[in-house]
Chains A and B, each alone.
Chain A
């Protein structure tokens, strides 16, 4: 009967595509950097030498630009842009910023002014800049520590020491100990043991100093990086974040459209008073439900394949495994359909059925997308949206597929049968 209602067909095809597009747009927006004004009041043009590097204000702002979209502006213009909402915050580098960095007497300050009208964006910027400042401080600390370790090495092993542009040779503790011991040996050959023995405390001091300075190296390294985060990623398919987003978009669009379609077809027959005729033995309740479930499964498969084809053609996301997508989409559609049919069977009319389907499906879809939450996992396992999301994500992300997908397909089939049986029972028990 669908072909008699072009508007319904258009809605059936257009709604999931529209939802998928909106989710895709939302995901793209998430990756966009917020605009932030940069007011540089340090016009000295000086730089500071740290280890082997010479750092200027430009080096610092380059690091910040990795986190936000920096727009260099004057103080007044930056304030106007903030008030107009064209930038979400102002970063000010005060006068003497590099001088403070060079002297080390007081920490160099960066001032962040955020807009009270954009509290969520402001919080995001604050966290991004905290991360950027922390990373910059770490790299500076690394340079300082490397400098200290080089000096320790010079004290222990000796080498060239640059002072006021001149190179002076430092002998170092190792060489100093050798020299003292050579002097002691010479004195003892001359029979002047008493004087030689008086030099022993110097040797002991040199040994102690060298031993302690050897400990300084690991200690300095520990200060440079007290805790290191090592990220071990399992072997994964390409672009797991995009795949996560697209799997979510598929579940939202197909899940809602499928459940609504099934609920509408069954409750529509009740509205048209046709169920009265069909239920008189013309069509048994399981067959009535089965027809709606099959229609939804096919519709979800077609729409799902169209969406996948569009993604494969228009984006960089790798979509493959078409032979597995076919049964997965069919089973997901059947489970969505059975879920919708149960609501359609229980509802008094179409409007109630559609409203109830939306009110139940939207939170349940959200629960299905929440990862690793014990109560949510239990609820998600009892409705088709969670298992469908898992199977979509597995096909898009996991490099090794079959066993896991087979289990997820079994889960979807089980839910389709359970909800379908419940719908048939309600349909048979409920007065028409």
Chain B
């Protein structure tokens, strides 16, 4: 795994209230070059709220977010694309909106790297779920970000699509030093795909550390990791 370096994305004391409901309570996050951090926790723990604040979609009630190398790339839970536009047109449009000097060149590069060549002229609404998610990720990369935020990126993918998706993301991290923060409901996926884990429960950080620390050195055992996760997020947990 890649060693952490100077943070590309740092958030301090993030708090978000919706009326009387406290969705996030003083969360600190730091994301370094090439690092993969998994954000996990039960439903309503605040994962999507935290990611949307880091992405700049939602304003925090309190706290600050600092990003180096421009704003992070953002892959929301569902596809966020113009369904009537083709794969290439979507990429060209978002590259232009991101202010890229060569939208056509970047589009061709992303299509080649994501293995979307056969789908370049196909309208987005006709693409399969897996292909659509690759395009969704490409759109997030159209701003040439240093960090990438993904909200449950594999939730709707089949096992083989999930496998290809993680392989490609690993390439991106290795080639471009991309820092990745992804949320997932799967403890197994978090343990296997991340350098570090951030477990949220009731808007607070219940655990922050390496996969091996989660289950006291037994991270390779999915059952033990899941049992440790359940202890962390239970009402009696820390």
Contact = CB atoms under 8 A, between A and B. Distances in A.
Contact of A281 (B56, B78, B80, B84): B56
Contacts of A321: none
Interface in A1-37: 1, 4-5
Interface in B76-107: 76, 78-85, 94, 97-98
B81 A279 contact: no
B68 to A, nearest CB: 16
A432 interface: yes
A282 B97 contact: yes
How many B residues touch the partner, as a band? Answer: 20 to 34
Interface stretch (A105-113, A269-277, A371-379, A387-395): A269-277
A278 B57 contact: no
A280 B58 CA distance: 9
Interface in A404-432: 431-432
Contacts of A272: 79-83
A273 B79 contact: yes
B3 to A, nearest CB: 30
A170 to B, nearest CB: 97
Contacts, number: 44
Nearest to B78: A273
Nearest to A431: B58
B94 A1 contact: no
Given A276-B57, A277-B94, A283-B97, A1 B78 contact: no
A5 B57 contact: no
B49 to A, nearest CB: 11
A279 B57 CA distance: 7
Q: Which of A274, A277, A278 has the most CB of B within 10 A?
A: A277
A105 to B, nearest CB: 83
Given A4-B123, A432-B57, A280 B82 contact: no
The binding surface of chain B is classed by DSSP as: loop
B71 A280 contact: yes
Contacts of B80: 272-274, 276-277
B182 interface: no
Contacts of A283: 97
Contacts of A431: 58
Given A1-B84, A4-B123, A280 B79 contact: no
A274 to B, nearest CB: 5
Interface string A281-298: 111000000000000000
Contacts of A5: 84
Interface string B111-139: 00000000000010000000000000001
A4 B85 contact: yes
Contacts of B81: 272-274
Nearest to B58: A431
Interface residues of A, number: 16
Contacts of A4: 84-85, 123
A282 B85 contact: no
Given A4-B123, A280-B74, A283-B97, A274 B82 contact: yes
A214 to B, nearest CB: 89
B199 interface: no
A276 B74 CA distance: 9
B71 A276 contact: no
B55 interface: yes
A287 to B, nearest CB: 10
Nearest to A274: B80
Contacts of B83: 272
Contacts of B76: 273, 276-277
20 contacts: A1-B85, A4-B84, A4-B123, A272-B79, A272-B80, A272-B82, A273-B78, A273-B80, A273-B81, A274-B81, A274-B82, A276-B80, A277-B74, A280-B56, A280-B57, A281-B71, A282-B97, A282-B98, A283-B97, A432-B57
Interface of B: 55-58, 71, 74, 76, 78-85, 94, 97-98, 123, 139
Given A277-B139, A279-B57, A281-B71, 16 more contacts: A1-B84, A1-B85, A4-B84, A4-B123, A272-B80, A272-B82, A273-B76, A273-B79, A274-B81, A274-B82, A276-B80, A278-B97, A280-B55, A280-B57, A282-B98, A283-B97
